Chain A
């Protein structure tokens, strides 16, 4: 059977509210015995309803208690006293019983109290742990972004990097991307200003034109970060084409999106 669907049908709530017929009731009880998950859910539901009742309590009139005790024959201590004297020997024992019961009740009260205190504390702790984790994750994320930005800024501001603007071709006049190239360390970075979105099967590929020949500089997807590309010692121009995902050996020049020369 589908336990999830059974639970979410709301039948356990009906059971807890005492609304089911004999056979439906028996079925729920049987399923509770065979499926721990259903049993746990029912316990949670009754606990919720019990707690609702406890939290929305309304104090009855003081007098009502005495009326109820009278109906239960509970408030006639004198009459029992009068009947008791002949049974003197048994009294120490009943005192002992009474005392132990008082102790038991006191202990019960205290245990209930501590249990609820402990439950509250545990709930709060769990919430705090979860919050803490959330804050730590956020921090981690922000920190990573900051590091990336720091690297970006360092490269953008470094005079050793030549800035090569690649403008849109006829294929895509709006497109724009920039290569940052350090000829002495041969490092090449790419920043996308504006490139169109590609399908899942396609990827952009950067090319350096070295001695009139296109050299692969690596493939990339759409992104806002500065991208580290392959290195090159010399290049007359850089260009970006659209290639099948993974890149090509030779550029499909007809798909060229942007191009820019290194020397004016």
Chain B
């Protein structure tokens, strides 16, 4: 237990360090951020918007926003990566809702786009895992909501409408799916 607390403290100190580098607009902060997190953010974006040019543009926007809005990151409310991830998802969701994209947004297409990047997943990341491989461990109903909600960029309310299910059902399915995935991801 003390070890865990200690490690947690170390991680917090390191994150504070990183955030202050970013606030001071130090290039090293950006380098660290990009090296460690760009692929994760890019994966999220690419599955949501599919088109590579748009995905590239969104990753740029995300890093610009992270870099310029770092002052508004509140370490009391969560981890830096969580903040970056939400910021990035929101940018991508806004893009999907924009006029130029909205006609493409059909749940029929989501399935393909969610999985098509599996082959492209970064080879440098040895512990990486394909989305299909992950979702195949869920039962069909959980898999369906996760395709839309987590990977496809639908809000839970939108997914409920799309699948003609009560919102409460979608919520509990998302919850069960995430709990099941913890086992696969070795999270306690």
**Interface residues, chain A, with chain B CB atoms under 8 Å away:** 8-11, 13-14, 16-19, 29, 44-61, 64-65, 67-69, 71-72, 74, 101-102, 104-105, 107-108, 111-112, 115, 118, 120, 123, 126
Q: Identify whether the interface residues of A are mostly helix, strand, loop, or mixed.
A: helix
Known: A8-B175, A14-B156. A29 touches B185 (CB 8 A): no
Which residues of B come within 8 Å of A, CB atoms? Answer: 3, 7, 10-11, 14, 17-18, 21, 26-28, 30, 32, 34, 38-44, 46-47, 55-56, 59-60, 63-64, 67, 77-79, 81-82, 85-86, 89-90, 117, 120-122, 124-125, 127-131, 134, 149-151, 155-157, 168, 170-172, 174-175, 178, 181-182, 185-188
Among B30, B149, B181, B188, the residue within 8 A (CB) of A17 is: B149
- Asked whether A52 and B34 contact (CB < 8 A) given A111-B10, A112-B14, A123-B188, the answer is no
Taking the nearest CB of chain A, how far is it from the CB of B54, in angstroms?
13
Instruction: Tell me, in angstroms, the Cα distance from A102 to B21 when the chains sit together.
Output: 11
Taking the closest CB of chain A, its distance from the CB of B71, in whole angstroms, is 15
A204 to B3, alpha carbons, bound, how many Å?
58
A115 contact set on B, CB distance < 8 A: 7, 10-11
In angstroms, Cα B178 to Cα A45, docked, is 7
Let me know if A68 and B134 touch, CB within 8 A.
no
Q: With a CB–CB cut-off of 8 A, which chain A residues contact B171?
A: 9-11, 13-14
Contacting pair B85 A10 (CB below 8 A): no
CA distance A107 to B13 in the complex (A): 11
